[in-house]
Amino acid sequence: MTQVYDRVALIGLGLIASSMFWSIKRGGLVGEVTGYARSAETRDTAREIGLCDRICDTAAEAVKDADLVVLCVPVGAMGAVAAEIAPHLKPGATISDVGSVKQSVIDTVGPHLPEGVHFVPAHPLAGTEHSGPKSGFAELFDNRWCLLVPVPNSDPEAVAKLRALWEGIGSNVEEMDAEHHDLVLAVTSHTPHLIAYTMVGVADDLRRVTDSEVIKYSAAGFRDFTRIAASDPTMWRDVFLTNKDATLEILGRFTEELFALQRAIRTGDGDMLHAYFTRTRAIRRGILEAGQDVDAPDFGRGKAAK
C-alpha cells in the first residue's frame, strides 16, 4: 500500500488508537506515528510495548508538524483537548476523531480550530470490551465500517485522504451527516449498551439469584449482555450525556415495544410473539450475511481477548 500521510498524531492511547497504530504499521500507511496520553503510566506502557514510533510527554509536542491528528479520548474531553492543541497545529493539517457521538464533537471541537486546519470527524464502528494501550490489535477494523462525518466546510481532498487511510486500515467507509449518525448509533450501539447495563443491574438487584448462579449459568444469554456491559464507564457516561435526544427517542420506542411484548405474554398471544421473533430473527441473519459477525460460539471475538 502507498503511504497516505507523512506524520499522524494519536491523542489518547486506548483500544482504538493502539489498534489504529498496529493497522497503520501493517499497511505501511504513515511515515511516523506520534502518540500522547494524559497519564504518565499509559505513556510508559506504550513505550514498553513499542506503541507508536514516538511517545510524547505533551499533546503539543505530539501534534507538532502532524499532517493528521486523531482525537482518541472520551467524547466529553474532546473540546478541552482541541483547545490545548489548537495553537500547535500545522497549517493545512487535518483533525479527526473516533468518538461514537458526532454532533457534540463538532460543536465542542470545531470552534477551537484555527483557519486553514481541516476538520473531518469520523467514527470507526469497531471495538471490544477491553481498553488501554495493550488492548489493540491490527485486525480490529478489518471489514468493519468507519463513518466519516464531514462538516459543511470540510475540504474534499482532506476527506479523500482520511478515507484512504481508513480503507488502508481495513475498514469499509461511508459518509453520513452528524444528526443521522447519532440516531443510527443510538439504535445500533448506544441503547443496546444501556439495556445491557440495565440487565446486569437487574441481576445484581435480584437477591433471589445468587452471584454464583449468575456466573455459573451465564451462557444462557446473560454472558452476551455482560460482554458489552464491561465497556469503559467514562466513555459510555459521555456518550449518553452527549447523545441525549437520540438515545431518549430510541429508549422511548424500546419501552413501547417492551410493553407490547409484556401484554402479549400476559394475554397468552402466541401468534404475536412468534411473528415478532420471526421478524427480529431475520434482522440478525442479515447481520451475519453482511459479514458483520460470525455464527460461532465465541461470536468471532477470539482475537479481542488478546
| Strand intervals (E) in 12-53 | 30-36
Number of neighbouring beta carbons within 10 Å of residue 140:
24
Alpha-carbon distance 192 to 250, whole Å? 10
Query: 246-272: buried (b, 16+ CB within 10 Å) or exposed (e) per residue?
Result: bbeebbeeeeeeeeeeeebeeeeeeee
Alpha-carbon distance 52 to 44, whole Å? 12
Name 148's bridge partners: 122, 175
What's the burial of 172, exposed, middle or buried (CB within 10 Å: 0-12/13-18/19+)?
middle
Q: Taking a C-beta distance cutoff of 8 angstroms, is the pair 13, 46 a contact?
A: yes
State whether residue 32 is helix, strand or coil.
strand
Joined together, the cell numbers standing for residue 247 give 438515545
User: What pLDDT does residue 34 have?
Assistant: 98
Alpha-carbon distance 128 to 234, whole Å? 15
Alpha-carbon distance 107 to 182, whole Å? 13
Alpha-carbon distance 174 to 180, whole Å? 13
172 contacts: CB under 8 Å, gap ≥ 6: 143, 144, 145, 146
Backbone angles phi, psi at 231, to 5 degrees: -70, 170
User: What pLDDT does residue 220 have?
Assistant: 66
User: What pLDDT does residue 202 have?
Assistant: 80
β-sheet with 68-71: strand ranges across:
54-55, 30-36, 5-11, 68-71, 94-97, 118-119
User: What pLDDT does residue 303 have?
Assistant: 45
User: What pLDDT does residue 229 have?
Assistant: 77
User: What pLDDT does residue 53 have?
Assistant: 98
User: What pLDDT does residue 109 have?
Assistant: 98
Residue identified by cell 514516538 is 54
- Which domains are delineated in the chain? 5-176 (3.40.50.720), 180-305 (1.10.3660.10)
Q: Among candidates 119, 191, 186, 182, which has minimal Cα distance to 155?
A: 119
67 contacts: CB under 8 Å, gap ≥ 6: 5, 6, 7, 8, 90, 92, 93, 94
pLDDT in single tens digits along all 306 residues of the chain: 689 999 999 999 999 999 999 999 999 999 999 999 999 999 999 999 999 999 999 999 999 999 999 999 999 999 999 999 999 999 999 999 999 999 999 999 999 999 999 999 999 999 887 889 999 999 999 999 999 999 998 999 999 999 999 999 999 999 999 999 999 999 988 888 888 888 888 877 776 767 777 777 776 677 777 777 777 888 889 999 999 999 999 999 999 999 999 999 999 999 999 999 998 888 878 877 877 776 664 544 454 433
Joined together, the cell numbers standing for residue 284 give 440478525
Backbone angles phi, psi at 44, to 5 degrees: -65, -45
User: What pLDDT does residue 140 have?
Assistant: 96
User: What pLDDT does residue 306 have?
Assistant: 37
